[in-house]
Every structure is written in structure tokens, then in C-alpha cells.
Amino acid sequence: MTQTQRSKLSILHTESSTGWGGQEIRILTEAAGMIARGHKVVLVTPPDAQIAPAAIKRGIPTVTLPMGRKNVKGFMAMRQYLKQHGHEFDVINTHSSTDSWLVAANCATLRGMPPLVRTRHVSSPVNTKASTRWLYQTATTHVVTTGEALRSTLNQVNGYDLNRMTSVRTGIDLSYYKPLDKAAMRAKLKVADKPTIGILATLRDWKGHDDLVDAFASIKDEFPDWQILVIGDGPRWGDIERRRASHGLEDRIIMVGNQDNVPEWLSCLDLFVLPSYGDEGVPQGLMQAMACGVPAISTPIGAIGEALQDGQTGLMTPPRDVPKLAENLRRLMGNDQLRQQYADASLAYSRNFGIDIMLDRMDKAFRQAIAETTGK
């Protein structure tokens, strides 16, 4: 199938992960945005993937296959689907390691398959094995990273061609993520009307929840009115509950789980903190908080520095440095004027996070991959 610059695309997304987090939200946001622009989009994912019902709820055509593992069953399921439907698409966008390998291995041995675009959502290094180089540089036509830092690393460390890679920061809907009245949101959500820190992230090790709890505990007596909202769910829920209890902070660190009405929860906050120490592109929670006019403290991990500007929209803290995190918390918790200055700057800078910017850049990457394959 050939395309002109103004033609509509037919895009196949594959996602083998069964979990839930920023990556899955990005896929859904991008897919829904492309559909709204008139493109055809289909998502293929395992039947037990959390993204499957979420995609269906958003009206994204979804196919479930037993593709959660790199095994014969997954390979054959993907092969059968691609043999029957692969020719219907202009481009395949893979998102996780397993589906990238399953798609690449099949496309290499089937005729008439569309080009592959591999989106790398995390900032961790890509190994230098020959097989991985084949995946990224031979089987894949174009690589998309969610931050410029990883694109540069793939070029400098792995030797990948910069011209075949594009950095596309995740976009958010700025008509949805916007400041709401703080007092009204606290009343609606039954959040105590007192100064509030928040973290919005899947409860995984590298998100830094433990560091936030420990840093807050070290200054809790200096700021007796402050509380923390932990927004999100994940495998470390019990660990964080126990850590909270060990500091006697059950009544000051409130865990609310996953929430759909994210702007309302973010608007309850006076300060957003994300002390990540691994596997980050540009975290959506951070961008969403900034778009809601909340100042932030985070770490220079992955592409976080492409969103949070140290000393302008918030403060950077070295990863895993609890004393420094406590120092930065103290600095902002004790200075209403500085928090407001960073809040205003965050809201202004968040205009760079609009969803249309992401969709335009993904459209361009897809068309570049198609042109490199077809010569058109």
C-alpha cells in the first residue's frame, strides 16, 4: 500500500506488556489521537493485558493474541495474524521487547510486510549484542525514543544512525490537564484542606516512593501540617504501607490508588515529587502535574530534564539522595512565594507538552519509515 504526504495511514500497534503505566497510557493517547485524525489504527495485545479493556473503552479496535512471551506459541500466533492482515497496514509500531522480537522475526520471513517502527519508552541502555543491533538497525526501519537523551545514547554508545531515530516526547491533552480550584477539589475528593505533596506513578521500585517517604519523615516535625497523597497502584503497595507505618505516618501519607480523574487530584497539590532513579523517558505524571500548575521536584534521570527545568519550573535532586531530597522539600515547603513562582513557570512551559506535537512527530516518523521502505 502506497501513501502520499496527505493520505491517511493504516497503523498497527503491538504491545506485549500486561502491566499498566505511562507506556500504556501513551499508546492509548497516540492511538486515539491518530483515529481522531482519520487514520486507521489497530492494537494487538495479550488477552490478559490491562491495556486491552482500556483500549476497547476508548473505541480503539483491539485484537488479543497469546503474545506475552517470546516462545513458539507467541511466534505462531503473531505469524498467523500477520499472514492474514499484515498487508492491510502501512506501518507496524512495536512497543515492548517481546512484541518487537515476535513482529521482527515474522516480518523477516514473510513477504509484503510493512515497515517496523520501534518505540523505546524507557531510558535504560540498549545492549550491544549483535542480535539486538539486528532488531534495531536491520529489522526496524525507524526508532522512536521518548526523549532526546536516549536517542543520543543510542547514537553514541550503540552506533545507531541518528537519521533513523526520532525523539517524540509523550503528549498530553492540555484541554483536560489544566488547573482546577484547589479548595473545591479537596472538598470534592475529601482530601484534608492542608498543604499537600503528591506523587503520581505506578508503585514500582525505581519511582522512588521509599525515598520520598524517608525524606518526608526526616522533616515531618518541621512541617506538622503537611501531608502526602500517593496516587497510583502497583506491586510495591504493601512495601510502601509498611514503610509509612515504620515512620508513624499512617495519618499523613494517604494512599488513594489509581484514579481516573487525575486533574482533580493533581489540583489538590501544592508540590509534586517524583524521585525516580531508573527507566524514565519523560514521565507523564510530571508533565500532567506541570500542566495543572503544580511545581515539582524530580531527578535528572532519562529525559526528565526535557520537562523539568531546574531552578525555573522546580528543583532537581540527585537520585537516591534522601538528605538532598529532604533539603529540597524543606526549601519549597517553607517558601510559598517560590512554589508559586515555579507553579506559574510550570504551567507556561507545559504548553510544549501538547498532544498535537506528539501526533505530528509520530506521523512524520511513520511516513519516513514508509518512504525508506517503498522509496515513495
Q: What is the pTM of this model?
A: 0.89
Give residue-wise pLDDT tens across range 283-342. Answer: 999 999 999 999 999 999 988 999 999 999 999 999 999 999 999 999 999 999 999 999
Q: Please, are residues 40 and 75 in contact by the beta-carbon 8 Å criterion?
A: no
**Does domain 182-353 match CATH 3.40.50.1260?**
no
Q: Quick: pLDDT tens for 128-147.
A: 999 999 999 999 999 999 98
**pLDDT score of 302:** 87
- pLDDT, mean of residues 3-12: 78
Could you give the CA distance from residue 152 to residue 281 in angstroms, rounded to a whole number? 13
The whole-number pLDDT of residue 1 equals 44
Helix axes 72-85, 97-107, angle to 10 degrees: 60
Are residues 347 and 179 in contact, defined by beta-carbon separation less than 8 angstroms?
Answer: yes
Q: What is the CA radius of gyration of the chain?
A: 22
Q: Give me the chain's average pLDDT, please.
A: 95
The string of pLDDT tens digits covering residues 181-231 is 999 999 999 999 999 999 999 999 999 999 999 999 999 999 999 999 999
* CA dist 19 → 24, 317, 348, 364 (Å): 8, 28, 33, 29
Q: What is the pLDDT of residue 6?
A: 64
Q: Which residue has the higher pLDDT, 32 or 6?
A: 32
Give CATH 3.40.50.2000 domain extents, the chain. Answer: 10-171+355-374, 182-353
CATH topology of domain 10-171+355-374: Rossmann fold (3.40.50)
* Residue 238 CB neighbour total at 10 angstroms: 9
Distance between CA atoms of residues 30 and 363, nearest Å: 10
Report d(CA 353, CA 26) in Å as an integer: 13
Contact predicate 119/146, CB 8 Å:
yes
- Mean pLDDT (whole number) for 271-291: 93
List, in sequence order, the alpha helices (H) in the chain. 22-36, 51-57, 72-85, 97-107, 130-134, 148-156, 182-189, 209-219, 237-246, 262-266, 284-291, 322-333, 336-349, 355-374
Q: Which residue has 509520530 as its cell numbers?
A: 362
